[in-house]
């Protein structure tokens, strides 16, 4: 399938001629080969950006020369992890990043209140498109594979080097193929698909490999659910998670995408390192118990009391996620022993949620709502757990101490499960609420 629309033209012939998987074709190399390639964008945030710019300072021979070379036009800077700043240390860090953005005249700079969580911003603002090669100094940069890009997380050192040169080296990953066919059950979402897969193959099941996703189930998923799947590819150790782009992607990008692009697809008959097949009807609302995303079980098999329910993050903070949670919460109240925290993934999502009346539903239910931030996901603030507390969360990791005290527990679930659990006070399959 070829993309439609004036913006969708080939970037280079080399990316369309080589036979292979999507990763091999975008990187223009064979599995296992070390290649050096031009990157399309480099993303940093308030955690990783300052050390990246420090590397740039150390590498540059002439600041003016670097700026004139146009390399920094590829840099996207987003304040999102500790914003609004929670203490003096985070304020100083944000100020340092802000100063670097001004010094280097970064055009693609997103301040608190004008952007959101970095991965949502990258997609919403049109930096992500099929066939692009994008790096970000954040492990969940793999999210952009939902639109057919090859995107991967790197360290601040690599990000700084790419800022200076516009290029970076890569080892071309082997690729696994995941095929999901059939119709999903009620209240089963992209989060359940990827948790089911991680539960099957383990947290090292895709170590330094690319994942490609196919099947009628994937085709019918919303772009939001596809982003969730690509986002959590890294939780199985993957270098990238990629979904071949289709008309849903092209439609989303019309009037939004920056620059030209061309979709890249795997060649017919290409051999994958492994192929996994799943029946969508057998995937239930799924929960990952502490302390691993692979420690999965059907939500219906749990009866675990929770102290906190968290709806948000780069994994599940989009408008579609808020809609299904609001549908469950409408006319209901959050359990008196539970605090429900709702954090939209971007300012655009928050505005849309206000316009659609979702924020009012959350407030009527007794939830706390705030602007976009990553704070609680990494145990930074805005939802930190105390000793012994349990949280059912739409985030992506549930390691020891991930959202707070080392003796707290995080259960990963989809937005419907989180909303239902907030109402009952225990981890709940949403189908149980039909007669609640």
pLDDT per position as a tens digit, 226-259:
999 999 999 999 999 999 999 999 999 999 999 9
- Indicate if the pLDDT at residue 270 is higher than 50: yes
Element (H, E) at 118: helix 118-124
For residue 344, the tally of other CB atoms under 10 A from its CB is 29
Q: Residue 40: what are its φ and ψ, rounded to 5°?
A: -85, -40
pLDDT per position as a tens digit, 356-372:
999 999 999 999 999 99
CA distance 160 to 59: 8
CA distance 109 to 94: 12
Task: Indicate the average pLDDT of the chain.
Answer: 94
Residues 413 and 401 sit within 8 Å (Cβ to Cβ)? no
pLDDT at 434 (0 to 100): 73
- Indicate if the pLDDT at residue 340 is higher than 80: yes
Domains, the chain, ranges and CATH? Answer: 14-278 (3.30.499.10), 287-429 (3.30.499.10)
For residues 343-348, give the mean pLDDT. 98
For residues 376-400, give the mean pLDDT. 97
pLDDT at 19 (0 to 100): 79
Count, residues in the chain:
436
CA distance 428 to 278: 24
- Indicate if the pLDDT at residue 215 is higher than 80: yes
- Indicate if the pLDDT at residue 13 is higher than 60: no
CA distance 295 to 125: 35
Least confident of 53-67, 233-247, 269-283, 407-421: 53-67
pLDDT at 3 (0 to 100): 42
- 349 pLDDT band, cuts 50/70/90, is very high
Q: Which residues pair with 215 in a beta bridge?
A: none
Residues 344 and 317 sit within 8 Å (Cβ to Cβ)? yes
pLDDT per position as a tens digit, 367-387:
999 999 999 999 999 999 999
- Indicate if the pLDDT at residue 17 is higher than 80: no
pLDDT per position as a tens digit, 30-86:
999 999 999 999 999 999 999 999 999 998 765 655 555 567 999 999 999 999 999
pLDDT per position as a tens digit, 256-265:
999 999 999 9
For residues 211-239, give the mean pLDDT. 98
pLDDT at 9 (0 to 100): 37
The interaxial angle of helices 319-329 and 415-424, nearest 10 deg, is 30
pTM of the predicted protein model: 0.94
Residues 233 and 136 sit within 8 Å (Cβ to Cβ)? no
Residues 317 and 117 sit within 8 Å (Cβ to Cβ)? yes
pLDDT at 59 (0 to 100): 87
pLDDT at 11 (0 to 100): 39
Residues 165 and 71 sit within 8 Å (Cβ to Cβ)? yes
What SS3 state is found at 411?
Answer: strand
């Amino acid at each position: 399938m070829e993309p439609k629309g004036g913006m969708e033209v080939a970037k280079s012939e080399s990316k369309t001629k080589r036979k292979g998987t999507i990763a091999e074709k975008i990187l223009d190399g064979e599995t296992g080969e070390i290649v050096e390639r031009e990157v399309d964008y480099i993303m940093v945030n308030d955690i990783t950006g300052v050390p990246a710019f420090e590397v740039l300072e150390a590498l540059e021979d002439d600041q003016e020369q670097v700026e004139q070379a146009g390399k920094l036009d590829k840099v996207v800077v987003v304040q999102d992890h500790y914003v609004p700043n929670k203490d003096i240390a985070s304020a100083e860090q944000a100020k340092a990043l802000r100063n670097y953005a001004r010094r280097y005249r970064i055009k693609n700079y997103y301040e608190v209140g004008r952007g959101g969580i970095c991965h949502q911003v990258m997609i919403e603002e049109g930096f992500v498109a099929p066939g692009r090669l994008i790096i970000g100094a954040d492990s969940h940069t793999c999210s952009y594979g939902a639109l057919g890009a090859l995107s991967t997380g790197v360290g601040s050192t690599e990000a700084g080097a790419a800022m200076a040169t516009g290029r970076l080296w890569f080892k071309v990953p082997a690729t696994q193929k995941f095929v999901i066919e059939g119709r999903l059950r009620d209240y089963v979402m992209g989060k359940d698909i990827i948790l089911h897969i991680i539960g099957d193959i383990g947290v090292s099941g895709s170590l330094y490999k690319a994942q490609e996703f196919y099947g009628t189930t994937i085709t019918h998923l919303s772009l939001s659910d596809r982003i969730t799947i690509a986002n959590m590819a890294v939780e199985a150790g993957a270098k990238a998670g990629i979904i071949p782009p289709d008309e849903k992607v092209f439609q989303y990008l019309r009037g939004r995408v920056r620059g030209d692009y061309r979709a890249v697809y795997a060649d017919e008959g290409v051999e994958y390192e492994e192929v996994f097949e799943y029946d969508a009807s057998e995937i239930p609302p799924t929960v990952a118990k502490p302390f691993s995303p692979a420690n999965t079980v059907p939500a219906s098999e749990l009866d675990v009391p929770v102290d906190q329910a968290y709806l948000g993050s780069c994994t599940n903070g989009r408008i579609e996620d808020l809609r299904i949670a609001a549908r469950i919460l409408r006319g209901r109240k959050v359990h008196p022993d539970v605090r429900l925290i709702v954090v939209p993934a971007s300012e655009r999502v928050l505005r849309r949620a206000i316009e659609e009346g979702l924020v009012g539903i959350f407030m009527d239910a007794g939830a706390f709502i705030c602007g976009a931030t990553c704070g609680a996901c990494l145990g930074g603030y805005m939802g930190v757990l105390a000793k012994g507390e349990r949280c059912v969360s739409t985030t992506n990791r549930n390691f020891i101490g991930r959202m707070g005290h080392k003796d707290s527990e995080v259960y990963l679930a989809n937005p419907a499960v989180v909303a239902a659990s907030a109402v009952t006070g225990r981890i709940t399959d949403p189908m149980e609420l039909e007669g609640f």
